Structure 1
Amino acid sequence: MKTILVPVVLLFLAITHYGNSAKILGLFTAPARSHYILGSALMKGLAEKGHDVTVISAYGEKQPPKGKGTYRDIVVTEIQNSIQEMLKNEKMSMVDRENLNPFFAALFVGHVVPKLMEPVLSNEGVQQLIHSKEKFDVVIIEQFLNDAQKALATHFGAPLVLLSTVGANFWINSLVGNPGPTSYIPALSLGYTVPMTFRQRLSNTLLTLLNEVYYPLYVHPNENAKIKKYIPNGPDISDVLYNVSLVLMNSHPSTNQPVPYVPNMIDIAGFHIKPPKKLPQDLQEFLDSAKDGVIYFSMGSNLKSADFLPEKRDAVLKTFSTLKEKILWKWEDDVLPGQPKNVKLSKWLPQQDILAHPNVKLFITHGGFLSTAETIYHGVPVLAIPIFGDQKLNAKSAVRNGFGIALPYSDLTEDTFAKSVHEILTNPKYKTNAKKRSELFHDRLVGPMETAIYWIEYVIRHKGAPHLRVAAVDLPWYKYHLLDVIGFLVLVSLGLVLVSYYVVKIACRKLCSKQKSKKVKKH
């Protein structure tokens, strides 16, 4: 009986697995490890659920998941080479980007980043995949100046899902017909919070208009050329851009400003956060023995605190040397000149597990969204030193929500840094508000990873879920903004004014002529 039962059970399990699994292609090719962390977390979650995933990225996964599904890597090393070459030729470090003009930055990013992405489609492994006869049930792509890559969804005959590593923005809204009024939704790069002043709303509107013109006239034609060059019978960029079935947003009302969403935009902020693991022994002992608490200092994966100007670094060191708390500092060099005794250095630190430790009292951060989400998840106050991108907006949000202080890098002195650190450590409101934000972050019907997987499977089940698509996507810009209707109403109004003018004029003439004729008769 057992000899018959075993193969039957195995056959049943095999049928169940293959009946529920899907073939999923993911492209997370941004030249930034923080972006890759999000993409790989999603794809590993899908593999662990039982799906067969293929991931194209700039980094690759050293520890692929072991579960029901399969995980295949295609690593495009040329991207890292390109970014390293660009940084080598640049005269400024990442921390020097703080005061870049946002209008210049928008043009620069739209020009440079797509060029860094070109090696993806020309990569030998990617080309082999393109020319294979493989089919996928869905293609997931990070939305990050990589519009040509979206044509792979059409090429493989699969629905297109986008992962936005930040909240709703110009890059996303136009693709799914989502409203984004510039009156109260600031551009990420400007770092404004609401309500905006007149000057800020003016800058916000002008930057949006710049992007609305710049991308169709310059960026999209270049992306269209890549499609035709690297993808056989590649579709036109105009057919690719608005072929989006779903957008997974790395945002949540507890972390982001509430804004309108169309039905196929879903919040999943925090999906990359895992339950805390046991720390390495040296870190565990360091944190456990900190009776007065620990300050954790990290500028993320792209920025380096080792690039701080000497006077900025000394301001930080002098403050740390006066504190009773221990300092855990992600420092990228081998030596920190003037390192105080209470400071422990490491080139890499398990951030999520550190923030989960009860002795961590303050997180000094650049304000990137991953770090912001993780600190809110664990309820730790922040001192944000933002440099560029969405960091300024995240920092100001922490201030507005009462769980942090924003200290611009250009304003960092021994006095400002010491006052900011002392304020957070001694004023209980920051910890209280951080815990309140954490409660809001956790209060969900379903966890963010489960939400993401559900909606991806939903799109697969319903063949792209076209019923979630709003009609705005199919409207040309002048119809969407009702310019034809406004123009018609203006013309009709002008016509009525002119007709009224001539009617009154004629009536006045007749009235005047009658009065003249009466006068003539009297005389």
Structure 2
Amino acid sequence: MPRKFLSRVVVFILFASFGADASKILAITPLPSPSHGLWYRILLEALAEKGHQVTAFMPYIGKNKTGISYFEIEGIFPDEGVLELTNLGPKEHVEAIWEYATAIGALQIESSAAKKLQELSESDEKFDLIIFELCYGEHFASLFPRFRAPIFAINAYADGFWNWDFLDVDNHPSVYVQSVLSYVSPMSFFERVANFLTLYYDKYHYGQYLKRQQAHAYAKFGTDVAKIEDVLYSLEFMIINSGPPGVDPGRILPPNVKEVGCLQCRPVNPENLQKEVREFLDGANDGFIFFSLGTNVKSIMLPQEVIDGILKVFSKLKLKVVWKFENDDLPGKPKNVMINKWLSQQDVLGHTNARLFITHGGRLSAQEATYHGTPMLAIPFMLDQHKNAETVVKAGVGLKLGFLQYTKEKFEWSIHEVLNNPRYKENAQTRSAIAKDRITTPLEEAVFWVEYMIRHNGTKHLRPAGHHLNSVEQSQVHFLILSEQIQELGVARL
């Protein structure tokens, strides 16, 4: 039998075997952030490649391909007002976040995608699993019980306290820093106090936000839909974009919560780069700097005087600079600087000539720089970016420059410090080795747990003991245990 024909037979048999076990998956990931959408699409498309049929509702949709169909959720992340978040203290930052989430929810509940999802919930179509992003869009969860399928929670944003609360994961404010604060553990006494107050102020506003989401659901879908909190507290499993161990602070996790940090990370593929970009980087004999503020904060949002100062600093360097800049032209751009609206970030960071990553400090960007061993200069603007930037400093893989403290002189000094001090590169390579040293890839692990939940029609058997107790009952148990310990201590002293 000819080898080519035999190989085709093997491929056909493998595809048929996948098809025999193919499941129907409904995915809803409402957060309107392009970078988060990329993280979710990697997972969903990996499931489609395994032969599963995926119906995905999300903003910033990908291209429909074999095994996956996308429906766009309207309601996008606004450009205006992003830089203003930098000026806010923790209290105002928390308030602004939930005001924004409420506004997005009001838009999305009126979208054509919401109507389509409601129609699906009222139809006879069956799904084997629901994948739900546990970050915004909770009004959609009110429809889930109609599908009678287990719910698999996912989140590319690992710092929301609600992730941990709904699945009984320890989030003690003496240990774990809240997302809007720029602390790192271990915290001082006053930092722990501020962290405690911030957490419970955040929880209060989240509770008010859920009430508004519930009102949206009743108004749009009918008063017979489920209570959102009941659905969220019934979640059986979650994968979350934290870890790997040794990079993020370790948590004691129950069996039904798995960390899959760096799920999106992969080896370099130069073919992903545009020809002119690849040639520019290959020709950077003295190395190059990669400058990107991510997808939500854009370089074109920067004040003109800041852009002018950055260009003056870059013009003095022997190194080349590739800058993710959202306009076609950049007046005053020196010859050693290339601008591009969209770059394959990991293939730039993993290039052998990469010397420094100037970043906003978003979780995905920080993970990718860690994975590829590239030192960082973090300029945070909002949310967890501040904490991520502090982690960069604490880990010794780079420096932080606060946007409000930015000056051309500080910017220039920071660049030269990271470039010329070898400890940053050494530490970055050490963390890279830790991030890559795993039994299997995070993506393979995520796919495994999705299929595990489908095979067993849920994962109630993985819930931690005591999950059924409410907060009052748990407090009663803690009080009784404490009383017994006090009594035993008294007896021992006698």
Residue in structure 2 matched with residue 61 of structure 1 by the alignment = 62
Within the candidate set 65, 68, 73, 1:71 is matched to 68
Deviation for aligned residue 1:265: 1.1
SS of residue in 2 equivalent to 1:221: helix
In the alignment, is the contact (CA less than 8 A) between 1:227 and 1:234 conserved in 2? Answer: yes
Within the candidate set 220, 238, 241, 1:247 is matched to 238
For the pair 1:258 / 2:258, whether they are aligned, the reply is: no
Superposed CA RMSD: 2.6
Change in 2 beyond 3 A, CA 1:464/1:337: same
For the pair 1:444 / 2:434, whether they are aligned, the reply is: no
In the alignment, is the contact (CA less than 8 A) between 2:289 and 2:356 conserved in 1? Answer: yes
Residue in structure 2 matched with residue 206 of structure 1 by the alignment = 197
- For 1:227, the aligned partner's letter is A
SS of residue in 2 equivalent to 1:98: helix
For the pair 1:400 / 2:394, whether they are aligned, the reply is: yes
SS of residue in 2 equivalent to 1:244: coil
Moved more, 346-355 or 271-280: 271-280
Deviations 1:450-500 (A, max 9, x none): 00000111111122110111244432223334488379969x99xxxxxxx
Greater helix content: 1
SS of residue in 1 equivalent to 2:75: helix
For the pair 1:223 / 2:220, whether they are aligned, the reply is: no
In the aligned structure 1, how far is the partner of 2:378 from the partner of 2:11? Answer: 54
- For 1:222, the aligned partner's letter is R
In the alignment, is the contact (CA less than 8 A) between 1:381 and 1:404 conserved in 2? Answer: yes
In the aligned structure 2, how far is the partner of 1:215 from the partner of 1:97? Answer: 18
What 5-or-longer segments of structure 2 have no aligned partner?
1-5, 488-494
Question: How do 1:112-151 residues align onto structure 2 when only pairs under 5 Å count?
Answer: 112-122=100-110, 123=112, 124-151=115-142
Within the candidate set 342, 356, 372, 1:378 is matched to 372
In the aligned structure 2, how far is the partner of 1:209 from the partner of 1:486? Answer: 25
In the alignment, is the contact (CA less than 8 A) between 2:105 and 2:213 conserved in 1? Answer: no
Residue in structure 1 matched with residue 154 of structure 2 by the alignment = 163
Residue in structure 2 matched with residue 470 of structure 1 by the alignment = 464
For the pair 1:413 / 2:403, whether they are aligned, the reply is: no
Deviations 1:267-310 (A, max 9, x none): 11122234333122111110111110110100001111222223
Deviation for aligned residue 1:108: 2.6
SS of residue in 1 equivalent to 2:356: strand
The count of corresponding residues between Structure 1 and Structure 2 is 473
User: If the length of structure 2 is used for normalisation, what is the TM-score?
Assistant: 0.89
User: If the length of structure 1 is used for normalisation, what is the TM-score?
Assistant: 0.85
Q: Percent identity?
A: 35
In the alignment, is the contact (CA less than 8 A) between 1:293 and 1:326 conserved in 2? Answer: yes
Change in 2 beyond 3 A, CA 1:159/1:121: farther
- For 2:279, the aligned partner's letter is E
Residue in structure 1 matched with residue 259 of structure 2 by the alignment = 267
In the aligned structure 2, how far is the partner of 1:426 from the partner of 1:409? Answer: 23
In the aligned structure 1, how far is the partner of 2:482 from the partner of 2:188? Answer: 33
Residue in structure 1 matched with residue 165 of structure 2 by the alignment = 174
Residue in structure 2 matched with residue 501 of structure 1 by the alignment = none
Q: Which has the larger radius of gyration?
A: 1
In the aligned structure 2, how far is the partner of 1:202 from the partner of 1:46? Answer: 43
Change in 2 beyond 3 A, CA 1:333/1:12: closer
In the alignment, is the contact (CA less than 8 A) between 1:169 and 1:180 conserved in 2? Answer: no
Within the candidate set 315, 320, 328, 2:314 is matched to 320
In the aligned structure 1, how far is the partner of 2:15 from the partner of 2:124? Answer: 24
Deviation for aligned residue 1:121: 4.3
In the aligned structure 2, how far is the partner of 1:270 from the partner of 1:374? Answer: 7
Deviations 1:182-239 (A, max 9, x none): 11111011121012122211111111222333333x2222222333344464122232
Residue in structure 2 matched with residue 42 of structure 1 by the alignment = 43
Question: How do 1:285-434 residues align onto structure 2 when only pairs under 5 Å count?
Answer: 285-434=279-428
Within the candidate set 89, 94, 97, 1:106 is matched to 94
- For 1:257, the aligned partner's letter is P
Deviation for aligned residue 1:119: 4.1
In the aligned structure 2, how far is the partner of 1:290 from the partner of 1:177? Answer: 50
Within the candidate set 145, 151, 154, 1:154 is matched to 145
In the aligned structure 1, how far is the partner of 2:31 from the partner of 2:358? Answer: 25
What 5-or-longer segments of structure 1 have no aligned partner?
494-523
